[in-house]
A and B are shown apart, each in its own frame.
Chain A
Amino acid sequence: MSDGNYFTRDRSWHPPAYTPSYKTSVVRSPNKALISFPPTLSEQTGPVFGHNILGELDNDLIHNFAQPGESAIGQRIIVHGRVLDENGRGVPGALVEFWQANAGGRYRHKKEGYLAPLDPNFGGCGRTITDAEGGYRFRTVKPGPYPWPNRQNDWRPAHIHFSIFGSGFGQRLITQMYFEGDPLIWQCPIVDTIPSREAIETLIAPLDMANTIPMDARAYKFDIVLRGRRSTMFENRPEGN
């Protein structure tokens, strides 16, 4: 194994479990302290996914649920970036999954009650695997903001959910991507679970005109950072191992 143990996760950078303005967290937040131990093989290893799982349209949400010859309605965008570790190294071979509401802010889900209509040509899920430099990209429509039951009038900013696997299960992460310039970001109780503005800014994707496809789709750049791992040269190991 070329990778050493993880950097300690900075829990003060992440949202705490208990965030009363996001009401659902109140009864779903552990009260007791998390217990720490040195990372074991259970955290250092993790599932690996091969390109054989990917279908041709998995990274194209405009078409992967659409009828032949049709496409999803909405603002066409490319989302691209790199999966990095805290050392700034690209993470190759990482499975990245994403899901989102349609252009009107409606999810294709049994428990979704927003009155905005479903798009018959939009499912809302996609996935890809990072290349040798940790790069990834996919095509979709820009999701709409949507209201949600929390306080009387809470709206989620437009966002895309991301699930990322690193090289070990200890790097497992789920997060959300927001869009540059959306005023709802600063009014959202879920965004606000993140303690610092500096940390929130790292989830806001800028418009990337350089990578826009003229007359077709605008681009947004979203880099994702997973926990770093030390170099293995001086790892503390029992004699003989």
Chain B
Amino acid sequence: MEFAFDLSAAVAVIATLLAISSLDPVHALLYLIVSLLAVAMVFFAIGAPFAGILEVIVYAGAIMVLFVFVVMMLNLGRAAVEQERRWLTPRVWAGPAVLALVLLAELLHVLGRMPAAAGIGEGTIGARAVGAALFGPYLLAVELGSMLLLAALVAAFHLGRNE
């Protein structure tokens, strides 16, 4: 499984890099969808098939389609790409890139000093185990999640009205 993991991890990193550096919002969204599908493949490789399926259906299938629909409704066109080109100069992204790289280097340093942990990906945690835990000890969290979704639904309906 290491082969599948490394390959899809590389795809995820490259697609994410292209997504945050792309000028056209539609291209960025499509790269982001590729990145999410690659992360779903990582989930399959480390033995979490239910999370991988949810990643494909909900993240890449629902949330990203929502983004694509909003981009279609905004109908940005060529002028937006030109504006992005003016905004995204090396002077703008160099500083944040250095800061993010420093934080990432610290994180990798700490991870490198960790004692060698046991491997992941041996055995599979299927949908049955997840469902039993979800509607057993985590029932309250499910109810809170449903209330959060209801609140988001009301807020999106209110904010999205056409005056």
A binds B: no
Residue positions of A touching B, CB distance < 8 A: none
